[in-house]
Structure 1
Amino acid sequence: MKDQVHHSAAAGYKTGADTYVRGRPDYPPQVAEWLSETLGLNAGKTVIDLGAGTGKFTGRLVATGAQVIAVEPVPQMLEKLSDAFPDVLAVSGTAMDLPLPDASVDVVVCAQAFHWFASTEALTEIARVLKPGGRLGLVWNLRDTKVSWVPKLDAIVNALEGDTPRYYTGAWRQAFPHPAFGPLQAQYFSHGHTGAPEDVIFNRVRSTSFIAALPEEQRERVDEQMRALIAGEPDLRGKDVVTVPYETVAFVAVKGS
């Protein structure tokens, strides 16, 4: 199974689980309505949280009343999730090898995850465990580049991505169309991540898989670049609390009957 996990995820998330918890933003309140109305989640349904990480999205799924099964391949992340949600069934697995029977779940949700395993093969495996008419939900939080300093922060990060799959490149879309699923439909929500710069800027960037996997000297260089960016931006300089603007995009695709 390890061979199915990209090296950036395997290395970065193994060492960076704590930073991930502190640095990652939550999701906007509109997501609750999307989960219940668009994905149809309620107390009678079963949902897989695929690529669940430390459980950043798991609480949103639990709140729907549905039975939640968290699937995550990185043991350090899965341990954090189990600590946070002891009542959730948390299992080791990947999108290519889901430890569940055919047509056994109503919904599969991938939050901040689908770009890691976007492929025809993964969608075929997801379709296998979904019931006819089941739904696949794909969710990403993205920094809002309409705010002037955000592209500068993104440039610091993107310069180091190497071969790491990223949502913004759009490469994940090549997995679609897929014969098992109807067309993707998207909704967009705006929100902000407010807190100390150490968390919402520094720890958010440090939690990026390929940043977390860097040698210490290079990670410190990234920190220096972020400090220089903050010092040069009036909206950030000297602030104890800042808000990083985000846009959340939520896609749904329905499995055929």
Structure 2
Amino acid sequence: MTDHVHHATAGYKTSAETYVRGRPDYPPAVADWLAGTLGLNADKSVVDLGAGTGKFTGRLLATGAQVIAVEPVAQMLEKLSQAYPEVLAVNGTATDLPLPDACVDVVVCAQAFHWFANARALTEIARVLKPGGKLGLVWNLRDTKVSWVPKLDAIVNALEGDTPRYYTGAWRRAFPHPAFGPLQVQHFNHGHTGSPEDVIFNRVRSTSFIAALPQAQRANVDEQIRALIASEPQLRGREVVTVPYETAAYAVVKAS
């Protein structure tokens, strides 16, 4: 690989299991988006780019399409291969895809495009897409309309440093790109329900730059979250909670 991988991704090397437990699934409506907007079916092939531990891989497999997972962090790729042994899982990056020209119908980046949102990556993605192929960009975002969510986000955001993230909007500067048409977006709402340990604590712990912190700082983040939970009637004393999410799904077509 020739691509530079952001230093914050080092946190994923030690937090793959936490990532599996803490990250939310995607809403059922995504299935219609994959089939209708991206056109995935049993006759198509798709690259799961920045596939991580495979949180989105199952959604792609459910379309019947042939799935190729590409991920640069070996520890995460191992988790994906254990969960989905039928998927071709390969080490690679967005600017160095180990694939031939014009070989796939769709590339999907779920919770990943902000890491490599640049012209080089889009040029490389366009290279492996067939003419008229599609690129899908998907993000799960905590819904800040619920009063306690911005308080949780503030704990996390204070530590982000120079880590690329969706909510800053910096990823949009990669567009327009000469190989692609305009972005089209759809939004879906859902919730991540479970124990506070998983859906709040492990979700935060799985954040790249949090996972990369020294142990003492990670413990301090846990303490801030405990204080937040204790102060919020919707969270305090509950064994099961729901974190509200909005999913943003973007699609863009490669020029023929």
Which category of TM-score, normalised to the shorter sequence, fits these structures?
Answer: over 0.9
Counterparts of 2:91 and 2:4, CA distance in 1: 12
Q: Deviations over 1:184-239 (max 9, x none)?
A: 00000000000000000000000000000000000000000000000000000000
Partner residue in 2 for 1:175: 174
Counterparts of 1:89 and 1:31, CA distance in 2: 22
Identity of matched residues, %: 83
CA drift at 1:128:
0.2
Counterparts of 1:27 and 1:59, CA distance in 2: 10
Aligned-partner SS, 1:238: coil
When residues 104 and 250 of structure 1 are mapped into structure 2, their CA distance, relative to the original with a 3 A threshold, is same
Partner residue in 1 for 2:5: 5
When residues 235 and 29 of structure 1 are mapped into structure 2, their CA distance, relative to the original with a 3 A threshold, is same
Q: Give matches, 1:25-44, under 5 Å.
A: 25-44=24-43
Partner residue in 1 for 2:192: 193
Aligned-partner SS, 1:227: helix
When residues 2 and 237 of structure 1 are mapped into structure 2, their CA distance, relative to the original with a 3 A threshold, is farther
CA drift at 1:4:
1.5
- Residue 146 of structure 2 contacts residue 244 of structure 2 at CA under 8 Å; is this kept in 1? yes
- Structure 1 runs of 4+ aligned residues shifted over 4 Å read none
CA drift at 1:34:
0.2
Aligned-partner SS, 2:166: coil
Partner residue in 2 for 1:104: 103
CA drift at 1:2:
7.4
Partner residue in 2 for 1:155: 154
Aligned-partner SS, 2:167: coil
Q: Deviations over 1:108-147 (max 9, x none)?
A: 0000000000000000000000000000000000000000
Partner residue in 2 for 1:252: 251
Partner residue in 1 for 2:60: 61
Aligned-partner SS, 1:16: helix
Counterparts of 1:205 and 1:119, CA distance in 2: 26
CA drift at 1:19:
0.2
CA drift at 1:97:
0.3
Name the aligned partner's letter for residue 81 of structure 2.
S
Aligned-partner SS, 2:47: strand
Query: Unaligned stretches of 5+ in structure 1?
Result: none
Partner residue in 2 for 1:208: 207
- Residue 2 of structure 2 contacts residue 95 of structure 2 at CA under 8 Å; is this kept in 1? no
RMSD of aligned alpha carbons: 0.7
CA drift at 1:3:
5.6
Counterparts of 1:254 and 1:57, CA distance in 2: 20
Name the aligned partner's letter for residue 194 of structure 1.
T
Query: Unaligned stretches of 5+ in structure 2?
Result: none
- Residue 52 of structure 2 contacts residue 73 of structure 2 at CA under 8 Å; is this kept in 1? yes
Counterparts of 1:59 and 1:215, CA distance in 2: 33
Q: Give matches, 1:10-21, under 5 Å.
A: 11-21=10-20
Counterparts of 1:115 and 1:12, CA distance in 2: 16
Partner residue in 1 for 2:141: 142
Name the aligned partner's letter for residue 25 of structure 1.
P
